Structure 1
């Protein structure tokens, strides 16, 4: 697990861990649906994430919306999932970007909190292998057909796709 401090939001440390080969995604999803506060994380399906830049842009948007009182979901972690989408349909955002019953690769994000407790809780409850959170690992986990469907992109250039997706996320609701 690593902690990332966004330069413009140092008061909100991000604790991030990427898991591959997760075997209990259905359990994690059920905890979220049940509203279990012990599992208040942004659990993302890594197969539809283009880059670390995209993820950090969604986190920035969610924290900024929280600070400005503009959240459309119940907490900053669900707002991160919602922020990944280019449209304003919350349920569609969760279906496309949130952990699913069969998700194999999961990115867990916690805004704030005690690093040691969060790391211990995630390593205890997520049955998967932790790997570094970087673009190379995300690229290995991507599902090309899902990416094309979710983002409606035809480009093969990662840079072009990332610019299109992050731009779409930024323009949502403006």
Structure 2
């Protein structure tokens, strides 16, 4: 279920490919490939529990791609820059510890920027299907609402305490909730998303 994303104001040939996985069994292997500098594994491997929404991660991706186009990368490549751009501060190592894949990652977001013509939907799909042991799911807000660790996101971005009780994925609808409760949940996530985007933008201004 690798999806193609075309970000506004980006060259059409600079496509973004995104895939989301749950119950990943080989996160340690994937991290080892990154640490070894294996070019075949040049992706942004992100712990999906640290992503609140598609807007959250695409904002970081847009900034990284824009810096790539303008030769302003602060890290090794555009994929490591995506992870760095999720961070609320300028500590690259801390960004990878908080947002990057770790040995214990179970929910994984994978992003690949088509920096060469050889990077295509087919090539990315085939490589990921062969090397990631997990369950594919849709790259959408509904998936992230089930995965996101809202309490940890609030802590990392130094935001206020949650207003409602939360399970693994933060405050989310449970059986028997009314549509009003679900609407409040969506409003809460949107408000948190706005706060996070503000923190990310503030870091970019410093």
Give the alignment's TM-score, normalised by structure 2. Answer: 0.81
Where in structure 1 are there 5+ consecutive unaligned residues?
none
Would you say 1:164 and 2:204 are equivalent positions? Answer: no
Deviation of the 1:51 alpha carbon: 0.6
Deviating above 6 A after TM superposition, structure 1's stretches of 4 or more consecutive aligned residues are: none
Q: Does the residue aligned with 2:109 lie in a helix, a strand or coil?
A: strand
Q: SS in structure 2 opposite 1:173?
A: helix
Q: CA deviation at 1:155?
A: 4.4
Alignment of 1:137-156 (within 5 A): 137-153=143-159, 154-156=161-163
Q: 2:201 & 2:79 partners in 1: Cα distance?
A: 18
State the Cα RMSD in Å: 1.1
Unmatched 5+ residue regions in structure 2? 164-187
- 1:28-39 superposed matches below 5 A: 28-39=30-41
Q: What is the number of equivalent residue pairs in this alignment?
A: 174
Contact 1:19-1:130 within 8 A present in 2 as well: yes
Asked whether 1:115 is paired with 2:121, we answer yes
| Residue 66 (structure 1) shift | 1.0
Q: Could you list the per-position Cα deviations for residues 140-165 of structure 1 after superposition, in whole angstroms to 9, with x for gaps in the alignment?
A: 11223322322222244211110111
How far 1:64 moved relative to its partner? 0.6
Query: Which string of whole-angstrom CA distances, capped at 9 and with x for unpartnered residues, describes residues 30-50 of structure 1?
Result: 100110000000000001111
What secondary structure, in the 3-state scheme, does the structure 2 residue paired with 1:56 have? Answer: helix
TM-score when normalising by structure 1: 0.96
TM superposition shift of 1:62: 0.1
